[in-house]
Structure 1
């Protein structure tokens, strides 16, 4: 089996009764000029009651002798009908903190065991993926992976039956150029990866420390 074997066969309308992971809402609100208007929105109904976020994205950095590398994934995504370049990610379970969710999802999807960075660098503010369309949100959790530890020598993911994920890593300094190259090869670039890559290039361009 190969990720390239996956493809969309059919696209059709989905009734609200059939939907498990998304729901459509019509929002009535008062605009800044005092007029009453409506807005169409999608929501993810699976967010735990005690959680502020739906899920986490994981910036997992491999500590290598020749420089830090970011752990990325290739995964077929039906909504775009392409293999997408992503960071490890997942939904927060009931009773989990975002940090706990990130460590768990990282181990399940990649086999690596990592530690969340201390202080403010450990977790981003709450980030909304596409606030003009849906209320889905997440924290980006920053995790360091010590490659000298025995558990990280031969990582074995524990994927669910319907998950097919390929992991690879890219030097942080080359992330932007790799995104460009992968896009030219036909891959879709997840916004979290692309934004991180662009941020690194901005830091280079403006010589930020």
Structure 2
């Protein structure tokens, strides 16, 4: 790589020139019958399934218990916030592809890990419904390694610059706090999962009893 990525310019984009999103002005009627305006961004890439994207939570374990239950997270630069973001692996769903099939494919492409089965697939969820209609599913995947931790090669597309890291689930929340101190931005979905996992542990240990 020739250097650190950075935003070089930012200009207003006419809707007719946008490839991935469009801006919409919504007029809706509120609970009291009054008409109100709302502005939002809409994806132009949504396929016939009605679901835009999928995020993958890989549960990585060893048949010999050589390492603790872990997951894989990724680091990548995101131009809209001009910063490196720590996220779950994720990707758009192709036409004719289910969210679950997309999860299996994207996990290999972004991390190199191959899941042997799908544990669970969430309902359709949204992240920022006051801003956009973008939606997604979260798919929980099982990855079982024969022994020690492996680092398979990702199959990144041109223009993708992703760094993957495997982190023990028990350490994930503290690792994300460390990322914040290093100047990274943590994705909300990953942060919420890590905090929830840590909170569940604390509840189980009787901290709030």
Could you state the TM-score of these two structures normalised by the residue count of structure 1?
0.91
Once residues 113 and 107 of structure 1 are traced to their aligned partners in structure 2, the CA distance between those partners, rounded to angstroms, is 6
Q: What is the aligned partner in structure 2 of residue 71 from structure 1?
A: 72
Once residues 203 and 102 of structure 1 are traced to their aligned partners in structure 2, the CA distance between those partners, rounded to angstroms, is 26
Q: What is the aligned partner in structure 2 of residue 91 from structure 1?
A: 92
Q: What is the aligned partner in structure 1 of residue 173 from structure 2?
A: 176
Gaps of 5+ in 2: none
Once residues 148 and 169 of structure 1 are traced to their aligned partners in structure 2, the CA distance between those partners, rounded to angstroms, is 16
Question: C-alpha displacement at 1:171, in angstroms?
Answer: 0.8
Gaps of 5+ in 1: none
Q: What is the aligned partner in structure 2 of residue 205 from structure 1?
A: 202
Written as runs of structure 1 = structure 2, the 5 A alignment for 1:79-118 is: 79-118=80-119
User: SS of the counterpart of 2:171?
Assistant: helix
State yes or no: 1:159 paired with 2:178: no
Written as runs of structure 1 = structure 2, the 5 A alignment for 1:1-209 is: 1=1, 5-49=4-48, 51-64=49-62, 65-118=66-119, 122-148=120-146, 153=150, 155-207=152-204
Across the aligned residues of Structure 1 and Structure 2, the Cα RMSD in angstroms comes to 1.7
Question: C-alpha displacement at 1:153, in angstroms?
Answer: 4.4
Question: C-alpha displacement at 1:15, in angstroms?
Answer: 1.0
Could you state the TM-score of these two structures normalised by the residue count of structure 2?
0.91
Question: C-alpha displacement at 1:206, in angstroms?
Answer: 1.7
User: SS of the counterpart of 2:177?
Assistant: helix
Question: C-alpha displacement at 1:128, in angstroms?
Answer: 0.4
8 Å CA contact 2:100, 2:118 repeated in 1 = no
Misfit runs of 4+, over 2 Å: 115-118
Structure 1 range deviating more: 130-139 or 197-206: 197-206
Deviations 1:105-154 (A, max 9, x none): 11111111113434xxx1112110100111101100001111228xx945
Once residues 141 and 197 of structure 2 are traced to their aligned partners in structure 1, the CA distance between those partners, rounded to angstroms, is 17
Question: C-alpha displacement at 1:38, in angstroms?
Answer: 1.0
Q: How many residues align structurally?
A: 201
Question: C-alpha displacement at 1:205, in angstroms?
Answer: 2.4
8 Å CA contact 1:116, 1:141 repeated in 2 = no
Deviations 1:164-191 (A, max 9, x none): 0011111101111111110010001011
8 Å CA contact 1:116, 1:142 repeated in 2 = no
User: SS of the counterpart of 2:143?
Assistant: strand
